[in-house]
Amino acid sequence: MIKKTLFIVFFLFFINFSLLFSREHIKKIATLKMEIPVYPANIKVLKKIIIVTSKHNIYKFSLPGKLIKKMGNKGQGPGDYLYIFSWDYYEDRIYINDIKMFRISILDIKNLNIINSFIWNYGSPIPGRIAVCKDYILKSQINYNQKDLSYSTVLFLFNKEGKLLKMFHNIGKQISSYFRMELWPPLVSSDKEKFFYVVMQPVYKIYKYNIYGDLIKAKEIKREWFIKLKKWDKKKFDSLNSRRKRVKYYVNYINSGSRITNLVNIGKEKIAIQITNSNGINTIEFFDSNLNYINSIRTKFFVSNGEGKSIYLIESLDSNYIKYNIWRYEIDGK
């Protein structure tokens, strides 16, 4: 009992020390209160404003957190959305990825007016991400392979008029799937000028492409603790008498390990990869542009996006994903 108590005290001390360490160079810049739940990955700071997306809406806030404008509705017409899964930005434009309408919409940041949109009707509507640079859009997608009943990652390279320029097949094969919940969506980002970055799971692997879709470098990162799941109880799983119960058991099983939850660029020189464990603690690992590991921090905050020598961290203030604090973390070469 004494040993167990000492272990818990040491563990809490370690976590608190890590969180304090991650706060050394950070400053709170805004507090948000949303009308509906939003996922932290869909909150980004663009210089002096904050853009947030929910399933059907786009919100624009001032830096302190005052709502400036809201647009979008549930529907299939112009300015409507069925499921905004991800978005990215370049200069004065934001790019909205609606995975149920197979549509990417381009809006101006100032007024949130739609400038252009195009349909990317390739593959299946399983969640994927987009990354935008000066002239191109990279989209990740998971496709189903009927022959071996498995899934694989496909990357699409578009120009900003929506013309498909290149398709990359089978970039990292997913495990055979009885439930789609076990898929590990690939993450993508860009340095806004010359390169795209892609991170795959369940193997922790980073890919670097140029803007024309040529592979520059690929590197597998070895971590003994990464995606260490609890023991699979096949007997218990087989005894469950409904699909709903089996899905719940499987989701709990997957969530028992660590997984990559975000990838962001920090200017042109660094990327940050966030790994979340089953206790909700995030490890943010920093790499240089040649995919060499630099260092890491541990925090309960969610890494949002990077700019210059800073990254923005999102702190959830409740369990309903309604209230958030936004912090700026100064990397400063460390």
Structure tokens belonging to residue 236: 């218990």
Rounded alpha-carbon distances, angstroms, from residue 176 to 2, 147, 173, 318: 45, 11, 9, 36
- Average pLDDT in the 64-87 region? 92
DSSP run (H or E) holding 250: helix 243-254
Structure tokens belonging to residue 324: 């958030």
With cut-offs at 50, 70 and 90, classify the pLDDT of residue 18: very low
Q: Please say whether the dihedral angle defined by the alpha carbons of residues 95, 98, 99 and 103, taken in this order, is positive or negative.
A: negative
Domain boundaries, the chain: 1-29+258-334
**184 vs 334 pLDDT, higher one:** 184
With cut-offs at 50, 70 and 90, classify the pLDDT of residue 181: very low
Report the side by side order of strands in the sheet with 310-316. Answer: 26-33, 323-330, 310-316, 302-307
Asked whether the predicted pLDDT for residue 333 surpasses 50, the reply is no
pLDDT tens digit string along 117-171?
998 876 555 667 899 999 999 998 877 666 666 667 788 999 999 999 998 866 6
* Residue partners of 320: CB distance under 8 A and separation at least 6: 37
* Residue partners of 104: CB distance under 8 A and separation at least 6: 95, 96, 97, 98, 117, 118, 120, 130, 137, 139, 158, 162
Report long-range pairs for 160-165 (Cβ below 8 Å, ≥24 apart): 160/106, 160/116, 160/135, 160/136, 161/116, 161/118, 162/104, 162/116, 162/117, 162/118, 162/119, 162/120, 164/120, 164/122, 165/136, 165/213
Write down the pTM of the prediction.
0.83
With cut-offs at 50, 70 and 90, classify the pLDDT of residue 224: low
Res 31: pLDDT: 95
Asked whether the predicted pLDDT for residue 83 surpasses 70, the reply is yes
* Residue partners of 330: CB distance under 8 A and separation at least 6: 25, 26, 27, 309, 310
pLDDT tens digit string along 184-220?
668 999 999 999 999 987 678 899 999 998 999 999 8
Lowest mean pLDDT among 67-76, 80-89, 121-130, 266-275: 121-130
- Is residue 199 within 8 A of residue 187, CB to CB? The reply is yes
Distance from chain centroid for Cα 4: 36
Whole-angstrom Cα distance, residue 94 to residue 88?
A: 6
